[in-house]
């Protein structure tokens, strides 16, 4: 496996058995990601939770996730910990952040629109019809003149029916993923939307660069960073979640922010790829001083 979890705390890593029990049962009403997201952490929850600070419940009152994406760990945190006083999520992808806000504030209207999309998509008799329908929605999404609720519905519909659930934009910021081939995609999941809406009720949802939300952190904060991974090769590169990408300079800027957090006693955890898996001489992460 080429991925490694990179972590560093100011205090000892968690050895607390109270957080090592089974994950909550997957129930319809459990908050969970409402989109598929490249780099999503659903499969790594056990690794992440075992690295939470042992005094998470006692000392941490603010949770911050500056690269929220699909929010797999965030939704797990929400369903596991009720003591947090402040929760802040952020992403540079404006369409994604709009969807989080719509789910929090307007779940019923969103579900109505998605149910219509679902019925229309499923009523198409053949693959060509579904494909045409997909591209008409992609065009409408890219036109940029829809209401926030419609845009959220477009994003979820496209995410569920596009190739591999990718979110990729071109240089002009237009979503350009082709139609996928799913027999029965989950276009509308009302239970998850309603559960997420309740869970998001008191969450501060921000759009912008990761560095902006770090200003809110203090010694009672825990920050989980899940940035776009440093590509392991030219071909494995996927940083096109939003315009601009995330190159080595961005990785260095992020490392510098982590060092600033250290200075004020903020605890944090960061996931990234391990370039040493492919090239043992690649010391990029060591040079960033995050290991």
Ligand X SMILES: C[S@@+](CC[C@H](N)C(=O)[O-])C[C@H]1O[C@@H](n2cnc3c(N)ncnc32)[C@H](O)[C@@H]1O
As measured in angstroms, the least distance from the Cβ of 87 to ligand X is: 15
As measured in angstroms, the least distance from the Cβ of 244 to ligand X is: 7
The binding site for ligand X (CB under 6 A) comprises 37, 39-41, 66-67, 69-72, 90-93, 209-210, 226-228, 241-242, 246
What does each C-alpha distance from 162 to 50, 139, 141 come to in angstroms?
34, 13, 13
Kindly report the CA angle at 241 between 152 and 209, in degrees rounded to 5?
90
Residue nearer to ligand X on the CB measure, 53 or 70? 70
Residue nearer to ligand X on the CB measure, 72 or 232? 72
Residue nearer to ligand X on the CB measure, 143 or 212? 212
As measured in angstroms, the least distance from the Cβ of 189 to ligand X is: 16
As measured in angstroms, the least distance from the Cβ of 207 to ligand X is: 9
Q: Which residue is nearest to ligand X (CB)?
A: 69
As measured in angstroms, the least distance from the Cβ of 281 to ligand X is: 25
Residue nearer to ligand X on the CB measure, 221 or 240? 240
User: Helix axis angle, 94-105 relative to 148-161, nearest 10°?
Assistant: 110
Residue nearer to ligand X on the CB measure, 117 or 210? 210
Instruction: Supply the Cα-derived Rg of the chain in whole angstroms.
Output: 19
């Amino acid at each position: 496996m080429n991925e490694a979890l990179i972590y560093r705390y100011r205090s000892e890593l968690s050895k607390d058995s109270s957080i090592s029990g089974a994950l909550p049962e997957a129930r319809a009403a459990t908050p969970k990601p409402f989109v598929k997201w490249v780099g999503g952490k659903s499969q790594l929850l056990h690794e992440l939770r075992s690295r939470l600070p042992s005094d998470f419940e006692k000392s941490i009152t603010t949770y911050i996730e500056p690269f929220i994406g699909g929010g797999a760990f965030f939704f797990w945190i929400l369903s596991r910990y009720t003591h947090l006083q402040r929760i802040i999520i952020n992403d540079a992808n404006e369409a994604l952040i709009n969807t989080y806000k719509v789910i929090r504030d307007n779940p019923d209207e969103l579900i109505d629109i998605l149910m219509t999309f679902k019925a229309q998509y499923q009523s198409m008799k053949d693959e060509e019809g579904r494909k045409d329908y997909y591209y008409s929605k992609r065009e409408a999404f890219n036109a940029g003149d829809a209401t926030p609720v419609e845009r959220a519905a477009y994003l979820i519909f496209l995410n569920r029916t596009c190739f591999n659930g990718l979110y990729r934009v071109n240089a002009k910021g237009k979503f350009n993923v082709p139609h996928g081939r799913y027999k029965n995609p989950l276009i509308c999941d009302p239970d998850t939307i309603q559960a997420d809406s309740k869970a998001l009720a008191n969450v501060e949802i921000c759009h912008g660069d990761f560095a902006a939300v770090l200003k809110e952190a203090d010694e009672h904060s825990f920050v989980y960073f899940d940035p776009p991974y440093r590509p392991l090769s030219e071909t494995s590169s996927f940083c096109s979640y939003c315009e601009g990408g995330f190159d080595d300079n961005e990785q260095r800027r992020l490392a510098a922010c982590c060092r600033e957090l250290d200075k004020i006693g903020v605890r944090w955890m960061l996931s990234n790829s391990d370039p040493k898996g492919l090239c043992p001489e690649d010391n990029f992460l060591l040079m960033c001083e995050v290991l």
